[in-house]
Amino acid sequence: MANSVEEIQKAKKTYILVFLALLVGTVLTVLVADPPSFLYWLDVGKHGFDPWDAVVGLCIATTKATLVALIFMHLNHEKKSIYWIFFGSFFFCACMAGLIALAKSSPIFDTFFYH
């Protein structure tokens, strides 16, 4: 907790900077999904929304979620065990996404299920 006026002003400045970063991230996410013609360089991959745009959007969303968790949820002041839990959940999500991708790319065909 902030115990002095200087600490409160520092925390206030941090919250305002994080808010501005979240605002810029939101605008970037929208522009990546559907960029106007004069911002053609934001269209990654093929013209229009494609998987590369989704990957860029998810990277921006992950950055925003990390900022919210670290600053607004005060995880930057927690013990190391909290970090293990927090980043372990990212690892678990990545493993689950990998398993889903593996299942989609190599389906199991069994004659029992396909008559």
- Determine the angle formed by the axes of helices 5-33 and 51-67, rounding to 10 degrees: 170
What digits encode the pLDDT tens for the residues 25-36?
Answer: 999 888 888 777
Of 74, 62, 71, which is closest to residue 19 (Cα–Cα)?
71
Check residue 24 and give its pLDDT.
Answer: 95
Q: How far is residue 5's CA from residue 15's CA, in Å, rounded to a whole number?
A: 15
**79 or 19: which leads in pLDDT:** 19
Domains of the chain, residue spans: 5-73, 79-107
Closest residue by Cα to residue 41 from 19, 51, 24, 56: 56
45 contacts 35 by C-beta, under 8 angstroms: no
Q: What is the pLDDT of residues 61-114, one digit of tens each?
A: 999 998 998 888 877 777 777 778 878 888 999 999 988 888 776 666 666 656
pTM of the model: 0.62
Question: Which residues 6+ apart lie within 8 Å of 72 measured at CB?
Answer: 15, 18
